[in-house]
Amino acid sequence: MAADLVVIGLGHVGLPLSRAAVSAGLATVGHDVSGTVVSGLAAGRSHVGGVLDAEVAVMLDAGFHATTDPAVLDGAQTVVICVPTGLTPEGLPDLSAVEDAARAVAARLRPGMLVVLESTSYPGTTEDVVRPLLEHGSGLQAGEDFHLAYSPQRIDPGNETWTIRNTPKVVSGCSALCAKYAVAFYSRFVDHLVVARGTREAEMAKLLENTYRYVNMALVDEVALFCHETGIDIWDVLHCAASKPFGFAPFRPGPGVGGHCVPVDPRYLAARAESLGFAFRTLAAAHEVLGRMPNHVVDRALALLTEVRGRPEGARALLLGITYKADVADVRETPAHPVAAGLLAAGAEVSYHDPYIAEFTVGGRSLPRAEHLQEAMAQADVAILLQDHACYAREALGQARCALLDTRGKAVGSRVTLL
């Protein structure tokens, strides 16, 4: 029997989407190019933070299954593309996964099908990249023979308050009729839909959301650098500024940005603007500031190691929390990579503690993982709090025997040095 929905790409976006659709009663099938992902899901194992093994089991019991076979697209009413959009080694947008998915859909596209792109990309991707691939590969016309839409994902890993159901979702279509079909589909498991004028507006809205965060993170980081140079307590500055009930949105400094969205999406916007002859000067400045933060942390840590041991060579540095976000098992673009690399290059011995990550490799070198926090801190010369997981209690950090470099403004104590 043909599926109501086929989700292409079962990562941090596609699997939660599949879960929501199954919960709404849609006959849902997942397609992924990774045999490991597919076999894991078949065995009831989740590879995505925020989706429990027990929830995968419930999905399987409801009829969900995953496959690497594109034949599953045959007869599907709706196909949603949720594949990753990263960067090439040169830092340019990499749409290869989107293009491959579009070609797979085109080969099995039928009249009346709804195709939705959720992958984040620059304005024009739906109309100028996905649409031609679908039309040329199928001989059908978007807006006439099939429906094509764009709806940017708004998944926030680790957020238990805002889910797919209650987070407003932007929806757009290549025509008014396409948008209508997309609204009808998403309204089955999303409470509030926001209809954009067109796909370019929806694509731009997604980039703006994350670029807003990117720029403001850079602003606060640069303020933190200035405060360090001038002896001002940045954390007290932020506490005072955040007391204003209007006109100020609080952001906090840190060792750098990470994850699948914030470090990547602004690059898509900048690349698209550059191709059109427009220079986003704010983005360039933010990129430069954020790129400085891991080096700043390394410099501060090396100064502490020199103070404690006389020189950084052979000194023991312990990284606390290496994921890009608190209490999320994800190290994509984490600033822990450049921080660890900088310490290793200076001759320090680097280990890490993180309850979410079993293995961590930097420059081909596997770093030792500490199992017991207090023992590891007792053996370290300097500990560096990179990510404020819930397991890192404020009081315990402040009572550590080793020196502590706190990049999150969490700890207090005589041996604590703030970013």
Residues with a known catalytic role: 261
Q: What's the gap between Cα 154 and its chain centre?
A: 10
Q: What's the gap between Cα 119 and its chain centre?
A: 12
Going by the DSSP 8-state scheme, the letter that residue 153 receives in this structure is -
Q: Which amino acid is at 382?
A: V
**Strands, E, within 354-401: which ranges?**
361-362, 365-366, 382-385
Give the sign of the dihedral formed by CA 12, CA 17, CA 20, CA 21. Answer: negative
Q: Quick one: which of 129, 62, 75 has its CA closest to 102?
A: 129
14 close to 8: Cβ distance less than 8 angstroms? yes
Query: What is the spatial distance between Cα 123 and Cα 125, in angstroms, rounded to a whole number?
Result: 6
* Residue 249 burial by Cβ neighbours in a 10 Å radius (0-12, 13-18, 19+): exposed
Query: What is the spatial distance between Cα 13 and Cα 153, in angstroms, rounded to a whole number?
Result: 7
What are the residues whose beta carbons fall under 8 Å from the beta carbon of 307, sequence distance 6 or more? Answer: 403
Query: What is the spatial distance between Cα 345 and Cα 363, in angstroms, rounded to a whole number?
Result: 10
